[in-house]
């Protein structure tokens, strides 16, 4: 008999915080994190998967607490020498981080799937959760801007999110299929909750939802689907979410996020700072402190989200 | 009018010592080092050129004095993490060294020639000598052993030169052509000396001589060709030269080296420790201290070799 299982759907840094809370709160082997790969790109001849790597480092306890990305106890000799050689230095790669990219590039070139590589790294890092890329097929987030269409990292890192966003698309998503791990986790009868982490809905979650067949798997899943707000008191917790929502003409409110996800959701986690807006929500709400500063914050929010999901199980059954 | 020019023909560590002596002794812009690329290989998806890189680091003052290879002030985070990922760790790559391999691999993949990349790196490193790979075409030294045929680095690093050598071949050498830089330097009318550095004749110099057309260019060159002995007092200065000579059934003497190079040479530099053997040499000899421990040793030997070459210029003219 399999244990009750929970799926986290996540982008990088912001989402990984809640994924870590769930991982530390729930029994070993019961958490699956389905991670965005729309930000993946090839740089310096290496395949780089920022959100997957952030999730690996975060759950392994290897994340860099000062930077918020990359590995702790990192050195930067490679980057320093690369600059002296006139190499491209706009995307910072630590020496230890580089090992993951070099080894992944080598193994993908030898025919291994990304999901298999990630599972092996997670095992070597001692992570007792399943970290599964959304797809083994290439999906690339492209950002339509006033300056033309940019590859995601060109927009996000090189251009520091400065160009005005006019549209987003996820090249390859229609033809892509969910990884076997994502598929199996979403079909599991033991599933208790699907948690959409407080990642950027447009840049981090939408690519996952756009993968061919993913939406159908979510709609057919036996557990309630809950989104945790990435917008608190008129601000985005992390990254360019607020800027993008403004540029796309969307009000900077949690309600916009709820409407964006639409019928996918069975429940929504609203921050207590936005309690006054709660009457506008027509779905079940958990109102709590969603701002995760400490490890304890992550674990408390995770526990509350799981309890909230348990309370929604009947509702989900009715819908299905 | 071009300055008098000198060519050093060199492998890695041992040869680069004399190349550095020549570089420091002679006027800027007058030294060309033609470097072995038979040791080059692809590892972890990266193109690695050990002899070229050792030459670059040595002439730039960036070489690691403790290890004898790689960069000084190096860090090793990449290697440590790569091991934790189960990656291949038999070939040690420092974090800064890695930048050279990643950038080279990227630029070669984009269509640039190795010789162009190396010239650019030399310029960025502030080196006022021409460091030219022997060829832009692939030449791969393969070592026939009692255990079968091995790629060079498999023999040299992974198997630590332990298998008994039965033969050597340089795959691709016949079809390869000298680089434009090697060709131009060897044809230069201003050429004053060609110095075969005290590298391993079998592993480091023979691949250079095997490049299609290289031998003809050397034979037609206007300057005397001098070899500096890599064998002193019955020992090899560096690396597996002695072991290979024994296994190939060649007496471990400087005379064996002279006979190996044969009619290519106009003069030979014998170590003073082998003075008693000098009567057996039928070519002009410089007898001196060839063991280079200090920077002053390198510069003194370089000056003596250049003077020796000057004394042979008439002889070379007669031969040509």
Q: Is pLDDT above 70 for A223?
A: yes
pLDDT in tens, A184-194: 999 999 999 99
What pLDDT is stored for residue B96 in this prediction? 97
Structure tokens at B39: 């040791």
Q: Is pLDDT above 90 for B298?
A: yes
Q: What is the pLDDT confidence band of residue A316, given thresholds at 50, 70 and 90?
A: low
- Among A70, A102, A104, pick the best mutation site for testing chain B contact (most B Cβ within 10 A): A102
CATH class of A5-64+114-138+173-319: alpha beta
Give yes or no for A75 touching B (CB within 8 A): yes
Q: Which residues of B touch A106 (CB under 8 A)?
A: 44-45, 87
Return the residue matching tokens 């016949």: B174
Q: Which residue of B has its CA nearest to A103?
A: B87
Selecting from B45, B96, B106 the residue whose C-beta is nearest the C-beta of A109 gives B45
**Which ranges constitute the DSSP H helices of A149-235?**
152-153, 180-187, 206-210, 214-220
Long-range contacts, stretch A270-275, CB < 8 angstroms, 24+ apart: A270/A229, A271/A229, A271/A232, A271/A233, A273/A232, A273/A233, A274/A229, A274/A231, A274/A232, A274/A233
What pLDDT is stored for residue B86 in this prediction? 95
Q: Which residues of A touch B120 (CB under 8 A)?
A: 86
Query: Given an 8 Å threshold on Cβ–Cβ distance, is B87 in contact with A99?
Result: yes
pLDDT in tens, A192-204: 999 999 999 999 9
Say what the ipTM of the complex is: 0.90
Structure tokens at B96: 């800064």
Q: Is pLDDT above 50 for A1?
A: no
What pLDDT is stored for residue B62 in this prediction? 96
Give yes or no for B167 touching A (CB within 8 A): no
As a whole number, mean pLDDT of residues A28-32 equals 96
Q: Is pLDDT above 60 for A137?
A: yes
What pLDDT is stored for residue A193 in this prediction? 97
Query: Given an 8 Å threshold on Cβ–Cβ distance, is A102 in contact with B78?
Result: yes
β-pair partners for A132: A34
What pLDDT is stored for residue A317 in this prediction? 59
**What percent of chain B has pLDDT above 90?**
86
Give me the DSSP letters along B39-82.
T-EEETTEEE-HHHHHHHHHHHT-B-TTTSSSBSS---HHHHHH
What pLDDT is stored for residue A235 in this prediction? 83
Selecting from A82, A94, A99 the residue whose C-beta is nearest the C-beta of B103 gives A82
Query: Given an 8 Å threshold on Cβ–Cβ distance, is B75 in contact with A75?
Result: yes
Q: Which residues of A touch B81 (CB under 8 A)?
A: 71, 95-100
Cα–Cα distance measured from residue B179 to residue A190, given in angstroms and rounded to the nearest whole number: 66
- Under DSSP, the state recorded for A155 is I
Distance from CA of A116 to the nearest CA of B (A): 13
Q: Is pLDDT above 70 for A319?
A: no
Q: Is pLDDT above 70 for A2?
A: no
Query: Given an 8 Å threshold on Cβ–Cβ distance, is A96 in contact with B80?
Result: yes
What pLDDT is stored for residue B1 in this prediction? 40
Give yes or no for B264 touching A (CB within 8 A): no
Give yes or no for B99 touching A (CB within 8 A): yes
pLDDT in tens, B242-266: 889 999 999 999 999 999 999 999 9
Cα A9 to its chain centre, rounded Å, is 6
Structure tokens at B71: 């960069």
What pLDDT is stored for residue B282 in this prediction? 87
Distance from CA of B75 to the nearest CA of A (A): 7
Q: Which residue of A has its CA nearest to B80?
A: A96
Give yes or no for B120 touching A (CB within 8 A): yes
Q: In the predicted model, what is the mean pLDDT of chain B?
A: 94
Q: What is the pLDDT confidence band of residue A68, given thresholds at 50, 70 and 90?
A: confident
- Under DSSP, the state recorded for B5 is E
Q: In the predicted model, what is the mean pLDDT of chain A?
A: 93
Structure tokens at B131: 């460091």
What pLDDT is stored for residue A221 in this prediction? 94
Cα–Cα distance measured from residue B298 to residue B283, given in angstroms and rounded to the nearest whole number: 24
- List the domain boundaries for chain A: 5-64+114-138+173-319
pLDDT in tens, B119-144: 999 999 999 999 999 999 999 999 99
Q: What is the pLDDT confidence band of residue B68, given thresholds at 50, 70 and 90?
A: confident
CATH T-level fold of B5-64+116-140+175-319: Rossmann fold (3.40.50)
């Amino acid at each position: 008999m399999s244990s009750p299982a929970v799926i986290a759907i996540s982008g990088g840094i912001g989402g990984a915080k809640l994924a870590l809370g769930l991982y530390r709160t729930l029994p070993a082997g019961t958490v699956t994190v389905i991670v965005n790969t729309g930000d993946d790109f090839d740089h310096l001849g290496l395949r780089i998967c920022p959100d997957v790597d952030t999730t690996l480092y975060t759950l392994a306890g290897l994340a860099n607490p000062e930077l918020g990305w990359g590995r702790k106890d990192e050195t930067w000799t490679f980057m320093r020498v690369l600059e002296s050689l006139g190499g491209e230095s706009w995307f910072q790669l630590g020496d230890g981080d580089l090992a993951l990219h070099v080894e992944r590039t080598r193994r993908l070139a030898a025919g291994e799937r990304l999901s298999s590589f990630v599972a092996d790294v997670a095992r070597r890092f001692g992570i007792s959760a399943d970290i599964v890329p959304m797809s083994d097929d290439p999906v690339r987030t492209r950002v339509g801007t006033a300056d033309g269409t940019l590859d995601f990292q060109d927009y996000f890192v090189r251009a520091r999110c400065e160009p005005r966003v006019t549209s987003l698309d996820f090249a390859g998503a229609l033809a892509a299929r969910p990884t076997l791990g994502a598929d199996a986790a979403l079909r599991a009868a033991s599933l208790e909750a699907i948690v959409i982490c407080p990642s950027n809905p447009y840049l981090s979650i939408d690519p996952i939802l756009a993968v061919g067949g993913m939406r159908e798997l979510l709609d057919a899943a036996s557990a309630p689907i809950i989104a945790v707000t990435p917008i608190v008191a008129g601000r985005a917790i992390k990254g360019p979410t607020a800027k993008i929502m403004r540029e796309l003409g969307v009000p900077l409110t949690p309600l916009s996020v709820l409407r964006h996800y639409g019928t996918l959701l069975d429940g929504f986690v609203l921050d207590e700072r936005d309690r006054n807006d709660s009457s506008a929500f027509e779905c079940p709400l958990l109102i709590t402190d969603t701002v995760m500063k400490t490890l304890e914050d992550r674990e408390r929010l995770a526990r509350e989200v799981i309890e909230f999901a348990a309370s929604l199980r009947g509702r989900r059954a009715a819908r299905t």
